[in-house]
Amino acid sequence: MRCMAITARRCGGATCGEAKRMSTGCHCEERINVAIRKCQENQSAGLPRHARNDGRRRMFRASLAMPVLLLAGCQSPAPRSTDRALPAAPFGEAIRAEYDALGKRGGRMYVIDTARSQLLIYAYRGGTAARLGHNHVLRAAQIEGYVHVPATAPADARFDLRVPLAQLVIDEPQLRAATGDAFAGERTASDIAGTRHNMLGPDGLDAARFPDVRVRSTQVSGDWPALVADVEITLHGVARMLTVPLRVHRDGADMNISGSLVLRQSEFGAQPYSTLLGLLAVQDPVTIRFELLASEQH
């Protein structure tokens, strides 16, 4: 939307030449307001007094919508981080081949069992009118991953995970209720569709361009069952290093891996959702909690 259209709307549908010139480029709300005042003065000249008063009342009502119009038409997108922007690398068969090769050298190789695993993401309402918004729970319906534990020590272990963003399930009623009162409350299908667009659309995590979250261990330390993993997380085309404490329990051919971490969307070059000049927003940090079950492969 061009700012000239906004100015025309504020001027009752007529656009004077000066307003056109001053609104071009959308540099500043002050210029728009100056152009509007001059346009209003030109339009008021020669009109009966009652007509001018009616016009002022209409202009006052129209001005109440100005913040929304400015947000839609004039706000520049926030710059995205260029910290190590990465193309999507292959996952699946290529990674599986690497882990098969590791398994042949000794130790144990595990595959994540999606049906018996859970990964939840908690996103929090923000903004000056946060009480009017909603907290959100997202569940990963698909998790791909491999773990290799050598026969020597857990310090030499390795794992790779992938979570497709398109497979995130948003705000399931049972999960919202189980999380607590601040998350409870039903949401309509339309509400959920809007949340998906805001979070995963081009102005959010842009899942069409960056379709997944990937986690790769670079070092594992500690000892059973309390381990510490240094991991590289790739999200929104940006890779960041984090340290994540893990609880790992082995039971026969199964391995249970649990833990939690906090990510800030802005650190991955993603702009958290915000509207109405910050009245409603999603907070930058999100919490991820996971309990993954991996089965040994022979």
Please check the confidence at residue 21 and state whether its pLDDT lies above 90.
no
Name the average pLDDT for the chain: 79
So what's the pLDDT on residue 298? 82
Separate counts of helices (H) and strands (E) for the chain: 8, 14
Q: From residue 182, give the alpha-carbon distance in Å to each of 177, 179, 187, 268.
A: 9, 8, 13, 27
Q: How many CB atoms lie under 10 A from the CB of residue 257?
A: 24
Domain residues of the chain, as ranges? 3-74, 93-297
Report if pTM > 0.75. no
- Cis peptide bond prior to 211, omega within 30° of 0: no
Cα 83 from Cα 238, distance rounded (Å)? 6
Burial class (CB in 10 A: 0-12, 13-18, 19+), 42: middle
The whole-angstrom distance between residue 221's C-alpha and the CA centroid of its chain comes to: 30
Q: Which amino acid is at 84?
A: R
Please check the confidence at residue 270 and state whether its pLDDT lies above 50.
yes
Q: Which two tokens stand for residue 92?
A: 């699946």
- Overall average pLDDT of the 202-219 stretch: 96
Q: CA end-to-end span of the chain, whole Å?
A: 59
The hierarchical CATH code for the domain 93-297 is: 2.40.128.110
| Nearest in space to 246 (alpha carbons), one of 263, 223, 229, 262 | 229
Q: Which amino acid is at 285?
A: P
DSSP annotation string for 230-274: EEEEEETTEEEEEEEEEEEEEETTEEEEEEEEEEEGGGGT----E
Q: DSSP class of residue 109?
A: E
| Nearest in space to 6 (alpha carbons), one of 205, 181, 165, 26 | 26
Which has the higher per-residue pLDDT, 283 or 153?
A: 283
- Overall average pLDDT of the 60-82 stretch: 38
- Overall average pLDDT of the 262-272 stretch: 95
Q: Which of 82-86, 158-162, 244-248 has the lowest mean pLDDT?
A: 82-86
Q: How many CB atoms lie under 10 A from the CB of residue 45?
A: 8
So what's the pLDDT on residue 186? 86
Cα 103 from Cα 149, distance rounded (Å)? 9
Which has the higher per-residue pLDDT, 27 or 262?
A: 262
**165-186 pLDDT per residue, tens:** 999 999 999 999 999 999 998 8
**Going by C-beta distance under 8 Å and a sequence separation of 6 or more, which residues neighbour residue 122?**
135, 136, 137, 138, 179, 183, 286, 287, 288, 289
Which has the higher per-residue pLDDT, 23 or 59?
A: 59
> Phi/psi of residue 214, each to 5°?
-125, 140
